Every structure is written in C-alpha cells, then in structure tokens.
Structure 1
Amino acid sequence: MSTGLGRQVELIRQQAAACEQLGSPFYAVLLERLAQEVSEGGSGTGGSAGAAVLDGHELDRGPSALALRLMAAVHRLVLTGGAPDLAAHYPSVGGTGDPDAAWPAFRQVLVEHVEQVRAGLASPPQTNEVGRSAALFGGLLQLVPDGLPIRLFEIGASAGMNLLADHFTYHAADGDAWPAEMASPAGGGESGVAGDDHGVLLDPAWDRVPEGAAPRVRIVERGGCDLSPIDATTEDGALSLLSCVWPDQSARLARLRSALVLAREEPVSLVAAGAGDYVESLELREGTRTVLWHSVMWQYLPQEEQHRVSEHVQALGQTATETMPFTHLAFEPRRLEADGPHRFVVTATSWPSGQERVLGEAPPHGVPVTWWGSGA
C-alpha cells in the first residue's frame, strides 16, 4: 500500500474512533469498514470503491476532515432519495440503524455515484452545529455586565444559525435555565427541541447557568462570513446542513431542524469572504460592545490566515475603550498543557483590559458545557 493510501486509512480510522467516542456507533462501523476496504484495495487484492472515490486526496490535511466530507456526500444522496437501498438503514430517514446491514449498500453508492461523492469532497464539513451555541452564548452571558448593546459577528459562520443564539432556550442540568422563566425542574434531557412555544432548546446546555449571566442581551447588529456561506432558508441549503449531521444522532438532527425553522423567520446577513478579509473590515462603535466569535473552524484556516486574523483581533483590541469594548470569544480545541490532549474550551478575551479567560469546556458538539466558575 502506498504512503498516501496508508495515510488515508489512518485518518479514516481516527475518524471512526472519534465517531464511536462521540456517540455515533453507526458511522464508527461504516468508517472502519471503509478503512478496511481502502486498505485492501491499496494492497492489490482487487478494486476499491473507497480508494477510487478518494483518489487525489492522499495529501489532504488531517484537520480538513476528509472522511466526514465523504460521509456527508453519501448522506446527502440518502436524504434526497438517491440511494434507497442505503436509506433503508439510515436512522435520519427512518432506517434500521444497522451499520453491518448498511455496508454493502454504502459501498454500492460509492461505485454507482462516484462523481457525485467526489464532488462532495470539494467543500469542508459545514455542520453549523447548533449545540455550540451553548458554549458561545453561555460565554457571552458572562461578559456583558455593562448592559451595552451587542454587535455580534462570526467567522466561519456556515449558515449563520449560531448568530441567532439569543433566540434559543438553554436548560441547565440542575433545572435552571436561560431565560430564567423557561426553567424546568425536570432538566437534563438533551431532547434538542422544546416544542412550538420554545423553538430551539438545548437541554442540557450547561451544568449550571453561567455565574453572573446577564438576564437579557440586546443584539443590535449581527453578521458573519464564510468562504461558501449556506442559505439556510432554501431547501438546498437545509439539505447541505442536514447531510453533515451524523444520521444516528437524533438530538442533533432535531436541534438543526428546529433552527432551520427559526432561520427562515430571522434571516442573518452573511458574506462570502475569508476570515482575514472579514475581520479586517470590522470596526468598533461607540456605545456598543463588538463581539467576534467562532467555533471549531480555526483548524480549517491555513496558518498564515490564522496569523492574519490574530493580528487584526489584537489591533482591534488596541482601539477599544470602556465605552467601546471588544470581545473575542471562541470555542475551539487547544492544548491547555504543552504535552496534554486537545480539549474543546470556551475562551474569551475582552478589551480594553486584553485579559484572556478560559470559561469552561464541552464535548466537540458543544453540549453540555461545564463552566469553570471565574475562569482559569
């Protein structure tokens, strides 16, 4: 097996392990079978549908999530009715959820729809995971004691649905909630959707309502950027987002479907732009707090783009005053110790002080968040 194919197999197996750990046994098995099939094809034991689909992507960066791009492309075919034999096993469309039974049909999709699946590899996963609002908005609630109106901006916004986070309801595991009048003694069900009266519900969003959380937040401007922004108000846009959700994770699918309804009622302004260009276009405004946030997108930026964004964030911070503050809020993986594992943490830096705080941590999909009190 070539070095490139060997690397692909390793990355697919890493993603299989991640899916198992994060509660998607269905994808874990399918990805492990895919890795085995690619490995055998690369060893000269016969044709490999997986290797054919992935041909030319041997040197893709690990953080670009090649395996998830492939799975999203296949899931899209399932959701559109283009793979009925496979749909019989996909829970997202009422299938059995049996990955072993699904594998032959999955492989056949790679054979019969190779060009469609390969086309899906061109874009990074754009899950627009609604659960990450628990980390982002929960962080914001701790940072607005001055009561100033908020101008909220997001890079890597995908369809921009996390920019609507102030419209969501957040239940804590201890029964409290934000807004406070939505508290329920039941707590902790991760149902994803509360119902018609509640819209998008994250339950449990947090271990507890963040310390010092503002009872109300007034967002007077919101916008974001993405290299390829998705219009969540269209059928095609909704399909693109749904295809990136793992099909056996019903709570995530429910949250997203509920957020799609909200997005049609509260459309968000997005621009097609890189993170560096977008951040360089931002300016602070007197009498408001400008907030720039992002979640699990930093890894997709080239290193030079990361430096460019960081430099301009610092430059914006230098212009901040007590009556024109600026906050950079992120939910991204980072090593808290030099030789430690990556942990998905909520961090915030606010100017004019420029002090960074680590507010808490959460699973990669954002819920539930464990808050660290006053921060670290």
Structure 2
Amino acid sequence: MSAALDEVQQRLRRFASDVKETSPLYSYLAAHAAEDDEVGRLLTVAADPDPELLLAAVQRVLQAEPFHELTNYYPTLGGSYGPDGGLWPMFRTFALERADRIRSLVVTRVPRSNEVGRAALFYPAVAFAARQAGGGPVGLLEVGSGAALLLGIDLYSYRYQSEQAGQVAAGPGRAALGLHCALKLAPGQKGPTIPKRLQVAARVGLDHDPVDLDDEDEYAWLEACVRPDQPDRLRQLGAAATVRSKKAPILVKGDPVTDLAGAADRIPAELPIVVLTSDALRPYSAERVTAFRTALAELAAARATFWVSLEAYSVGLVPDHPELDTGQAVLACTRWIDGEELTTALAQTSWHGERMHWLN
C-alpha cells in the first residue's frame, strides 16, 4: 500500500528535527523535501515511508556517479561542503532526473543501520551476562542481525573514557577496528566491570533477510545507509566487514519468534546463550514484542539464556523506570529464574555508541 503524501511530509519534518544535531546534512535535506511535493512523492511508493530510505536511495544512485557536483556535499563520497544555498536545488534536480531508479530502490529496499559502534555499548553488557552465566565462554545469537557485525564484539578493541576512572582499554590490542565511548558515572560510582577479553565460542545471526557482505550490491547499499556527514561510521563499517570476513558467523534466514529456537540450536548445547537485540523491537506491535519475550522464556526454560537488549524505552522492558524515558536507548540484561523474567537496566546510551551513562 502506498503512503499518502501528507504522511510522508510529516515524517520528513519529524526526521529533520530528530537529526538536527547529529546529521545537519540530512536534517537540511529532509526539511526541504518535506516542503517539496515532487520529491516527497518519491517516498510515497514505499511500504514504510522512512525518510532514511529516500535519502539512502539518493546516496546509492549518487555512488554510481562519483564525479557529480552533488558529491561535494557528501563527506562519505569525498566531499567537504556544508549545506548552503546551492545544495537543495542540486539535490532536487538530481533526484527528480533519476526518479525511476530512486523509486525502484525505495520499493525494494529497507534502511540498514548495522551500527557497529554499538559494540562499545554491548561489550560491558555481554560481560555482565557472561559473569551471571558463570564466567566462561558464551554463544552469541543476534536477532535482527542484518550484516551481523555486532557478533564480532570480542574481536574489536575499545577505549572507555570517564572523568572518574580515566581511560579503560579492552579487547585485542591490534584489532582492525577500535571504538571509543564516553562513560558517564555518578559521583563515587565504580562503573561497569570491563574485562580485557570476552570469550565468544559461537556466533549466530537470525534475520528475515541476512546481508551477504560478499555481494557488492548488498554492501554498497549498507554504505548508502550511512549518513553521509558521518564518515567515521563508514570507516567503522569497512573495518568491521573485514573482521567478519575472517571469522564469519552462521547466518540464519528466519523469523525472530518462530525460528528463534532453531537458530539457538546452532549454538553448542554446553554454551550459555546471550541473545542480542539492537533497536530491533521498536517497529514491533505490543503483541509481537510479547510473542518474542515468550519465545525467549521458552528457550531459557531449556538452556541457560540471557538477553542483552539495546532498545527504546517505549518497548517496555523496564516500565518501572520512567526516568529513563528520555529518547535515548536503554541497555538492559534479562534473565529467567524459575520462569520469571528479570530485567536489569544497565545504562542509558546514545544510539550509535558514542556515549553511555552507566546506572547504579
């Protein structure tokens, strides 16, 4: 079903406001697209008219024309210009002249974040779960894995910077990818236990449509989904893809609810399972979230299972903490004791992994 133009324009305006601080380029383009009916109609053919889908489609088409003047505004494509009076007319002309190609992408693609920077948030949380499981090696099962870059969490290096403790390093010393995270602590708080190493003995990704990084077109779409004024994220994507190619996980095509147990069976029975979700549940209905939690509980009844989640507060995992309803992500760890679901809120974080406020 096609979306109505007014719905598309409302979503573009909301997106422009939401990313004003983090992506000035996309904020500028989305705000202008919201007031331009012809450009807005390019997104009405989408099943889910996500503004990032339109902007990624334009960037994907632009990748194939590296000498076009519009690339001057895209740092991920080598540009250095900031938004100015010439940007919107050029963007508009480019998009409308290539409308058929852009509509084709809008109809057939979905946005792919695959934000590997979130590994810096997951590292201390998975360590927390591993300690709860007895401190030995674990098997990781990422639900909604996409390209499954978070499954290389033990292969990246990390630097955590806090006012109280200074810098804490973790992970392999010569890792291909290094991530940095600012760590906020309350006065006198010790903060998370961040081990030098995580022991990961199995990696499985479950997704409706797993990403094949060996497919050049699939990889180019991943690159197009990186906001162009965030070139560091593009470099991180490239480094993580290189790491994944050397230690590939098992990728399972399937449903997060009905195929969860089958995916878990790919992890040796002696290993505790740590299930990861990264902003995977926000699009779900309340009934769908409940079904997923039920599937996890059934898995936990059969073998040691922990769930490390990075989700919006609205998903409802920690409803007793309204102070966390700030628009930031909530990092939590869930386990099951005698069938009862117990969730610990660990931190409030940025969505891309730059900052983490560890909770008492």
TM tier, shorter chain?
0.7 to 0.9
CA positional deviation for 1:285: 5.7
Correspondence for 1:319: 302
The C-alpha deviation readout for 1:149-169, integer Å capped at 9, x for no partner, is 211101110101111111011
Correspondence for 1:52: 41
The C-alpha deviation readout for 1:73-129, integer Å capped at 9, x for no partner, is 111112232772321321111113332322222112221221221222233211200
Identical residues among aligned pairs (%) = 23
Correspondence for 1:188: none
Matched, 1:91 2:75: yes
Distance in 1 of aligned mates of 2:195 and 2:261? 29
Do 1:53 and 1:118's aligned partners in 2 also have CA atoms closer than 8 Å? yes
The structure-2 alpha-carbon separation of the partners of 1:239 and 1:116, relative to structure 1 and needing over 3 Å to count, comes to same
Correspondence for 2:318: none
The structure-2 alpha-carbon separation of the partners of 1:94 and 1:264, relative to structure 1 and needing over 3 Å to count, comes to same
The C-alpha deviation readout for 1:327-364, integer Å capped at 9, x for no partner, is 01110111442994433110111233642100001111
Correspondence for 1:202: 179
Classify the secondary structure of the residue corresponding to 2:313.
strand
Classify the secondary structure of the residue corresponding to 1:143.
helix
Do 1:155 and 1:278's aligned partners in 2 also have CA atoms closer than 8 Å? no
- Summarize the alignment of residues 155-166 of structure 1 with structure 2, pairs less than 5 Å apart: 155-166=143-154
| Corresponding residue pairs, total | 336
Distance in 1 of aligned mates of 2:35 and 2:28? 11
Matched, 1:153 2:141: yes
Letter matched to residue 312 of structure 2 = P
Letter matched to residue 270 of structure 1 = L
Correspondence for 2:221: 240
CA positional deviation for 1:148: 2.3
Matched, 1:118 2:118: no
The structure-2 alpha-carbon separation of the partners of 1:56 and 1:287, relative to structure 1 and needing over 3 Å to count, comes to closer
Do 1:66 and 1:121's aligned partners in 2 also have CA atoms closer than 8 Å? no
The structure-2 alpha-carbon separation of the partners of 1:229 and 1:356, relative to structure 1 and needing over 3 Å to count, comes to same
The C-alpha deviation readout for 1:38-64, integer Å capped at 9, x for no partner, is 3xxxxxxxxx2x13312344xx5xxx5
Distance in 2 of aligned mates of 1:266 and 1:84? 37
Distance in 2 of aligned mates of 1:205 and 1:224? 28
- Summarize the alignment of residues 1-376 of structure 1 with structure 2, pairs less than 5 Å apart: 4-21=4-21, 23-38=22-37, 48=38, 50-57=39-46, 64=48, 66-81=50-65, 84-100=68-84, 101-122=86-107, 123-145=109-131, 146-173=134-161, 174-179=166-171, 182=173, 197-204=174-181, 206-207=183-184, 211-281=192-262, 282-283=264-265, 286-320=269-303, 325-335=304-314, 336-337=321-322, 340-352=325-337, 354-373=341-360
TM-score normalised per structure 2: 0.85
Do 2:5 and 2:41's aligned partners in 1 also have CA atoms closer than 8 Å? no
Classify the secondary structure of the residue corresponding to 2:322.
coil
The structure-2 alpha-carbon separation of the partners of 1:96 and 1:214, relative to structure 1 and needing over 3 Å to count, comes to closer
CA positional deviation for 1:304: 4.2
Letter matched to residue 163 of structure 1 = L
Letter matched to residue 295 of structure 2 = H
The C-alpha deviation readout for 1:290-334, integer Å capped at 9, x for no partner, is 1111101212335543332111112222334xxxx2101110111
Distance in 2 of aligned mates of 1:85 and 1:303? 46
Distance in 2 of aligned mates of 1:254 and 1:338? 35
Distance in 1 of aligned mates of 2:270 and 2:289? 29
Do 2:129 and 2:308's aligned partners in 1 also have CA atoms closer than 8 Å? no
Do 2:124 and 2:192's aligned partners in 1 also have CA atoms closer than 8 Å? no
Letter matched to residue 306 of structure 2 = T
Distance in 2 of aligned mates of 1:107 and 1:215? 49
CA positional deviation for 1:232: 1.9
Do 2:43 and 2:49's aligned partners in 1 also have CA atoms closer than 8 Å? no
Distance in 1 of aligned mates of 2:42 and 2:227? 20
Correspondence for 1:41: none
Correspondence for 1:185: none
Unpaired segments ≥5 residues, structure 2: 315-320
Greater shift in the superposed pair: 359-368 or 296-305: 296-305
- Pairwise CA RMSD: 2.5
Greater shift in the superposed pair: 211-220 or 286-295: 211-220
Letter matched to residue 79 of structure 1 = Q
Do 1:131 and 1:255's aligned partners in 2 also have CA atoms closer than 8 Å? yes
Distance in 2 of aligned mates of 1:80 and 1:264? 25
Letter matched to residue 142 of structure 2 = E
TM-score normalised per structure 1: 0.82
CA positional deviation for 1:28: 0.8
Classify the secondary structure of the residue corresponding to 1:357.
strand
Letter matched to residue 372 of structure 1 = L
Distance in 2 of aligned mates of 1:340 and 1:88? 38
Letter matched to residue 170 of structure 2 = W
The structure-2 alpha-carbon separation of the partners of 1:82 and 1:213, relative to structure 1 and needing over 3 Å to count, comes to closer
